[in-house]
Amino acid sequence: MKARLTLKVRAGARRTGFAGKLGDAWKLQVAAPPVDGKANEAMLRFLARLAGVPAASVRIVAGFTNATKIVEIAGVGTEVLQRAILESHGPRSDTGSAAAREA
């Protein structure tokens, strides 16, 4: 069982985490700098921890030096991975809308 994920990665962010979607790609901010592969290593470790698999189970399939990457994660299904990404955002904050206040 393998899951593939398209990512738009921004290195040098304040913290590592998902920042939403851009088309079919997930936007991922990585705190590590884009120097000597450090951002890629941090991204792979983050995804492994998120998916609950060893770091060796996560690999970059395409875009090693580009901001847009395709990553393959062995040992986890696509639906489980998507759910883990959504849950990593945490509870939604109050948007200030009337509907949110009434709920």
Domains and CATH numbers, the chain: 2-89 (3.30.1200.10)
pLDDT digits (tens, 9 = 90+) for 38-84: 999 999 999 999 999 999 999 999 998 899 999 999 998 888 888 88
Torsion of CA 72, 78, 83, 86, to 10 degrees: 50
Point out which residues pair with 5 in neighbouring strands. 71
Per-residue pLDDT, averaged over 87-92, amounts to: 69
Residue 102 scores a pLDDT above 80 = no
The count of C-alpha atoms lying within 13 angstroms of the C-alpha of 89, restricted to the half-sphere facing its C-beta, is 14
CA distance 9 to 60: 12
Point out which residues pair with 11 in neighbouring strands. 30
**Residue 31 has what DSSP assignment?**
S
Per-residue pLDDT, averaged over 21-35, amounts to: 91
In percent, how much of the chain has pLDDT > 70? 86
Report the predicted TM-score, pTM, of the whole model to 2 decimal places.
Answer: 0.81
